[in-house]
Amino acid sequence: MNLKIISTTVTRFGSYYKCVPVAPGFQAEVPKWTGVPSESDSKWLGTKIWPPPVMPGIRFLIERERVGKGRQDQCGCPLQGSIDCVRFHVAERRKRLKLELGSTFQDWKFDQMGEEVAQTWTEEDQKKFSAIVGPNPLSIEKCFWSGIYKSFPRKSREELVSYYFNVFLLKRRRHQNRFAPNDINSDDDD
């Protein structure tokens, strides 16, 4: 039986794949083991970000929560689990994290995560973005990114992608969670 195999195709068109022919080209050269370990270049250790260097005179004064702690069962919000409740607690937790991490909060770009990203976007731009992506981003016929790039010439591609994942998709999920909880989807979306 011949195993002749054919090339792959991306799943946007369905859940098809065909195998790629395995070609020669897996060979890696490994030097002889002499029994004496050879040195690894310490550049590979990267840049240490956490724990931060101890700076004399500066102390982080924050009571740490138990490691692995999740959210409270109950909160004092008038409508627990509502959009406002979630927003309030997210903001609260981010404040706490910022205190805990200090400048590492920015190093890790937490200031560019989540709805925070929308702060540099006008209401109008946000509406325009949503309109271009369309009500059904699942539609595979429509490539919305070319439209997005054209409509926002002053925003970098990175900004646009960031907005997409941090704000647009988040809003969509928020809506699904409350109005279509049996139809949640953040992955077949684009």
Identify residues 118-137 at the interface with another protein (CB under 8 A): none
Q: What angle do CA 109, 113, 117 make, to 5 degrees?
A: 110
Tokens of 52: 């931060």
CA 163, CA 156: separation in Å to the nearest integer?
11
Q: Which of residues 99-118 bind another protein (CB under 8 A)?
A: 100-101, 107-110, 113-116
Check whether the bond before 51 is cis (ω within 30° of 0): yes
84 binds another protein (CB under 8 A): no
Q: Which of residues 6-25 bind another protein (CB under 8 A)?
A: 8-12, 14-25
**Residue 75 or 127: which CB sits closer to another protein?**
75
Among 54, 55, 61, 66, indicate the residue that binds another protein (CB under 8 A).
Answer: 66
Min CB(124)–another protein separation in Å: 23
Using CB under 8 A as the binding criterion, the count of chain residues that bind another protein stands at 97
Q: Are 164 and 179 in contact (CB under 8 A)?
A: no
Q: Locate tokens 């969670």: which residue?
A: 177
